[in-house]
Chains A and B, each alone.
Chain A
Amino acid sequence: MAEEHNKNSVRPVAEKGEHIIARHLIDDDAIKEEKNLVIDGVDVSGRWNTFIETRVDSEYDRSFFDEIQKTVVGSRINRCWQCGMCTASCTVTPLYRRFNPRSFIYMMQLGNLKQLKKYVDVAWRCVGCYKCSQRCPKQVNPAEMMEALALLIKKYFPEEIKSKHQLTIDEEVKKIYEGMILGHGRLDLANLHTSAMRKMGKTSELLSDKDERGAIFKMMKDGRALSVLRLGKPHKWHKSKDAIDKYLQNTGTLEQESQV
């Protein structure tokens, strides 16, 4: 940036809130800039004109907190003391600055759905590397808290999932996994891949053999793509399937509500 300034020798118009340290942690609409501001008779326009909206939330919803605590993945939400070790060790945060596990857990603790809704588009990006859970000093297990967050999103923002392309894809892929794992007891990876590609509208990529070293072409050739024939199905899996369905229909928790 500094070099650019020298080149043009004119300072560009200031970006909104650009003097704020860790600007990326604060929402645009939480920043208030006053053009001409006088406080107690002192003109404070200029550098001192930027304010961050107060975030005091006195109407938080405890029932929401209980809802999360009852799930297997969110059972330790009460332990979090907001130290931020999870965000500091996160694999995803450096790639997507708005992905902030500490902040997500805070919003979940407060039941701040309004705020959570703004992050639905990145909240699904956890890669499950468990660095946060490894380093969390309170064993909150933030990695699984992100799974609890996904459950909340499914319950409270179904329309967001439908309207945002990447979320729809994520949801569709999860359904393919679920259908195979619970339906058949085993996962046919080649089929998973091709079904997912089809859902994403990438069928043409599947058929192209321009890259002879391409994985799909190779696996077709050596037979691994047809591996479902070798995989089979566990004996009397339908009994497991029925037992699982019965359990999921009776938990009375978020896990049940998020069933399709």
Chain B
Amino acid sequence: METLKENQAAYYPGCALLTIDRAYNNSSKLVSKKMGIELVEIPDYNCCGIGEMKSKGAVSLYLPLRNMTIAKSKLGSKDLVMACSVCYHEFTRSITKVKENKKLLDEVNLILKDADEEEYAPEGEARHILEFLYNEKGPDEVKKNTVKPLKGIKVAPYYGCLYTRPSMYTFADKKPNLDNSEKPHFMHDFLESMGAEVVSYGNEVQCCGGRNVVQDEETSFTLCSQTLSKAKKAGADFLVVICPKCAGALDVNQPKIVEKYGEDSELPVVYLTQLMALAFGFSEKDAQFSDMISNPLKVLKEKGGFI
């Protein structure tokens, strides 16, 4: 068994981050390393279920928990860090459910045994990268690492749903080190530490409709256009996200949203870690801004001095 060093953390990439949202994956690793933590991917990960397997009983718990057993047996880590809010939700949900219900724990362990995997002991936590970096390092460290302050850039932080909700799974509002579910502020603090101006626009914890974005894009378009236009009206240059599903709905679909709801909904979307990478002195190529569909590079060029 490989054991992690003190400055390393077990990391669950998830399917989106390894493929379409590689920019989020790479920039998360870059900024973590810069702040002194190396994210080490667990070997042989499997999909968390992305919220689509919940009607399959203990199977929906097996999917995330198999990864927890791998983190423990292969990297010696009880905890697992992840950047995707949907994965985070699936992990916190599973961990909480089997802690509360011995019968479900037994069912999951039965599947694990049949699948020739390690047994799961209910311990350890799933940690969202934002919460992880906030608690392990904090805004002061972000400020210290900022070499290119984001002066003159107005940002609208978008937390979405599953980063804090529901606190029956995440324990937001309940554990003192976690964010507030109605009025989260960790991203605000990070962005201000980098010198950006945070705007308030009222849709910070609203839903993007991402869950049904494939089969019901109209609903998602409506919800997204509300968020994008409110942020734009508040003067934001960027909408800042921490979830690939939100990015899928707000960024990837943005050309279609603009086509339907007009230019009020046209606003570049970036990941928090991309802006952090930029502030920490990495190039726009390292931060992979060009991967975003909503064209954040154009704004960065206009602002001058950033790329």
Contact = CB atoms under 8 A, between A and B. Distances in A.
Interface of A: 71-73, 91-92, 95, 125-131, 133-134, 139, 141, 143-144, 147-148, 150-151, 166, 169-170, 173-174, 177-178, 180-182, 185-190, 192-193, 196, 200, 211, 213-215, 218-219, 222, 224, 227-228, 230-231, 234-237, 239-240, 242-244, 246-248, 251, 253, 255, 258
Interface of B: 15-16, 18-20, 22, 43-47, 49-63, 66, 89, 97, 104, 107, 110-117, 161-162, 165-168, 181, 206-207, 209-212, 214-216, 219-220, 222-223, 248, 252-253, 255, 290-291, 293, 295
Contact of A170 (B162, B215, B291): B215
B216 A166 contact: yes
Given A173-B214, A188-B15, A224-B19, A243 B111 contact: yes
B202 to A, nearest CB: 14
Contacts of B55: 71, 73, 147-148, 150-151, 255, 258
A190 B15 CA distance: 11
Contacts, number: 185
Most chain B beta-carbon neighbours within 10 Å: one of A189, A214, A224, A227: A189
A211 B58 CA distance: 43
A147 B207 contact: no
Contact of B46 (A150, A196, A240, A255): A240
Contact of B214 (A196, A237, A244, A258): A196
A181 B52 contact: yes
A183 to B, nearest CB: 11
B181 to A, nearest CB: 6
B114 A133 contact: no
Contact of A242 (B58, B110, B114): B114
B45 A72 contact: no
Contacts of A248: 56-57, 59
B199 to A, nearest CB: 22
B161 A130 contact: yes
7 closest Cβ pairs, A-B complex: A227-B19, A243-B114, A129-B207, A243-B115, A133-B166, A187-B15, A177-B52
A244 B57 contact: no
Nearest to A199: B215
B111 A189 contact: no
Nearest to A149: B55
Most chain A beta-carbon neighbours within 10 Å: one of B15, B44, B114, B215: B215
A130 B293 contact: no
Given A173-B214, A227-B19, A128 B161 contact: yes
A143 to B, nearest CB: 7
A258 B216 CA distance: 22
Contacts of B215: 166, 169-170, 173, 196, 200
Contact of A189 (B15, B58, B66, B89): B15
Given A72-B104, A91-B207, A214-B255, A244 B59 contact: yes
Contacts of B22: 224
Nearest to A128: B211
B19 A231 contact: yes
Nearest to A219: B20
B183 to A, nearest CB: 13
Given A181-B49, A213-B293, A231-B15, A72 B58 contact: yes
